[in-house]
């Protein structure tokens, strides 16, 4: 039976790691879910929102966007914030043939000298604090869709000496990675980076904004990282838990394959075989580098 939590059609995912980490993972049947604040890429999931932007910048950008919308009204305003929607529809109905020049002039003056509410600065500080707390509480598990990525073995598996674990997406167990979403690789800055982006967010419906802040920018990375073919599962820390990571257990039946790196020290194989006995469905394989420089996975044992 298909799990109601399944968001994709993948059968498994892979986690690359050094041998020392693999020992801990296999001993405890747990994986480390981390706050974005300790990710290795400081540009991965924005560490701060609207850096070097103040309330005047945002007010100016908002006034500019309102003027553009009034001069070129969109046919459908159903996806907009209710207050913005009311304002645009009012002007559209009141001036069906377009804005008079006098109103355009007044709105242009607002762009040059935008009104700033009394609590605007505090609201901006509050939003930044909210984002910081969100990052501290967020827990993300990063996985890859492939076990044959040379750079992943090099960067995350101790220069080819480590291990990659394959985890099955089991509907009957409601595996956590059924909720995994693919990372979007882009060099476009998130809306939370600029005053213009924040003005765009102010126009959006509240639920859309909430989803963008809590979900969309959790799953983006720059194009430099697209070789990772990464997927992510996102959750939050448990109540009263401290620190910036959580070690969460997985079901022993979810581990499908233990893949030894191309330069794995085979003297450690007995230790891996012993640890694998805890996992009834897991087999051991070896990743080898072919003459053409590609990674190939060769089974060593089957369960």
Cα separation of 143 and 166, whole Å?
Answer: 10
> Which structural domain range is residue 156 located in?
12-45+138-190+206-299
pLDDT of residue 143: 97
User: Of 245, 224, 228, 227, which is closest to residue 236 (Cα–Cα)?
Assistant: 245
2 part of a folded domain: no
Clarify whether residues 36 and 177 are in a common domain. yes
Contact assessment for residue 68 and residue 239, using Cβ atoms and an 8 Å cutoff? no
Clarify whether residues 166 and 103 are in a common domain. no
Cα separation of 158 and 147, whole Å?
Answer: 15
Contact assessment for residue 124 and residue 55, using Cβ atoms and an 8 Å cutoff? yes
What is the DSSP annotation of 85-126? HHHHHHHHHH-TT---HHHHHHHHHHHHS----TTHHHHHHH
Q: Which residues contact 261 (CB under 8 A, 6 or more apart)?
A: 153, 157, 158, 160, 161, 162, 163, 164, 287
Contact assessment for residue 239 and residue 136, using Cβ atoms and an 8 Å cutoff? no
Q: Which residues contact 46 (CB under 8 A, 6 or more apart)?
A: 131, 190, 192, 193, 217
**Which range (137-146, 157-166, 184-193) has the least confidence?**
184-193
245 part of a folded domain: yes
The model's pTM = 0.85
Whether the pLDDT of residue 296 is over 90: the answer is yes
Cα distances (angstroms) measured from residue 23 to each of 28, 173, 213, 274, 276: 9, 24, 36, 11, 10
Clarify whether residues 144 and 126 are in a common domain. no
pLDDT of residue 125: 84
7 part of a folded domain: no
Q: Which residues contact 149 (CB under 8 A, 6 or more apart)?
A: 227, 228, 229, 295
Clarify whether residues 103 and 155 are in a common domain. no
Token pair 């827990």 is at which residue?
A: 139
pLDDT tens sequence across 67-124: 888 888 888 888 888 888 888 888 888 888 777 888 778 778 777 787 777 777 887 8
Whether the pLDDT of residue 303 is over 60: the answer is no
Query: Three-state SS string across 61-95, please?
Result: HHHHHHHHHHHCCCCCCCCECHHHHHHHHHHHHHC
Clarify whether residues 185 and 153 are in a common domain. yes
**Helix-strand-coil percent breakdown of the chain, rounded to 5?**
45, 20, 35
Mean pLDDT of the chain: 89
Tell me the pLDDT band of 302, cut-offs 50, 70 and 90: low
Clarify whether residues 157 and 76 are in a common domain. no
Tell me the pLDDT band of 43, cut-offs 50, 70 and 90: low
Contact assessment for residue 276 and residue 179, using Cβ atoms and an 8 Å cutoff? no
Token pair 């974005």 is at which residue?
A: 36
pLDDT tens sequence across 250-278: 999 999 999 999 999 999 999 999 999 99
- The count of C-alpha atoms lying within 13 angstroms of the C-alpha of 81, restricted to the half-sphere facing its C-beta, is 13
Clarify whether residues 153 and 95 are in a common domain. no
Clarify whether residues 109 and 17 are in a common domain. no
Clarify whether residues 185 and 268 are in a common domain. yes
Contact assessment for residue 180 and residue 13, using Cβ atoms and an 8 Å cutoff? yes
1 part of a folded domain: no
Tell me the pLDDT band of 301, cut-offs 50, 70 and 90: low
Clarify whether residues 87 and 169 are in a common domain. no
Clarify whether residues 122 and 243 are in a common domain. no
6 part of a folded domain: no
What is the DSSP annotation of 204-263? B-HHHHHHHHHTGGGSEE-GGGGGG-EEEEEEEPPTT--SSEEEEE--GGGEEEEEE-TT
196 part of a folded domain: no
User: Of 44, 21, 40, which is closest to residue 31 (Cα–Cα)?
Assistant: 21
| DSSP conformation class of 141 | E
Last residue of a domain, one of 79, 111, 130: 130
154 part of a folded domain: yes
pLDDT tens sequence across 200-228: 888 888 888 888 877 788 888 889 999 99
Cα separation of 280 and 170, whole Å?
Answer: 14
């Amino acid at each position: 039976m298909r799990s109601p939590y399944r968001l994709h059609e993948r059968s498994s995912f892979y986690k690359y790691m050094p041998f020392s980490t693999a020992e801990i993972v296999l001993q405890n049947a747990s994986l480390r879910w981390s706050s974005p604040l300790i990710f290795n890429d400081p540009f991965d999931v924005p560490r701060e929102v609207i850096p070097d932007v103040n309330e005047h910048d945002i007010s100016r950008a908002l006034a500019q966007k309102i003027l553009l919308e009034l001069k070129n009204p969109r046919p459908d305003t159903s996806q907009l914030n209710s207050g913005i929607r009311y304002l645009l529809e009012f002007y559209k109905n009141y001036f069906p043939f377009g804005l008079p020049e006098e109103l355009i002039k007044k709105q242009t003056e607002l762009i040059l000298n935008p009104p700033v509410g009394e609590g605007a600065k505090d609201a901006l500080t509050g939003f930044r604090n909210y984002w910081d707390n969100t990052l501290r509480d967020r827990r993300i598990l990063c996985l890859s869709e492939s076990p044959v990525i040379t750079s992943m073995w090099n960067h995350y598996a101790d220069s080819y000496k480590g291990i990659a674990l394959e985890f099955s997406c089991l509907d009957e167990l409601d595996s956590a990675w059924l909720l995994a979403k693919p990372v979007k690789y882009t060099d476009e800055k998130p809306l939370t980076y600029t005053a213009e982006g924040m003005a765009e967010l102010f126009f959006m419906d509240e639920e859309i904004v909430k989803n963008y802040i809590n979900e969309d920018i959790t799953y983006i990375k720059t194009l430099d990282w697209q070789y990772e073919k990464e997927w992510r599962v996102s959750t939050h820390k448990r109540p009263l838990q401290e620190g910036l990571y959580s070690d969460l257990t997985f079901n022993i039946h979810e581990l499908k394959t233990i893949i030894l790196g191309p330069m794995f020290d085979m003297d450690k194989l007995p230790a891996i075989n012993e640890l694998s006995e805890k996992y009834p469905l897991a087999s051991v394989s070896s990743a080898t580098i072919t003459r053409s420089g590609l990674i190939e996975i060769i089974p060593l044992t089957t369960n």
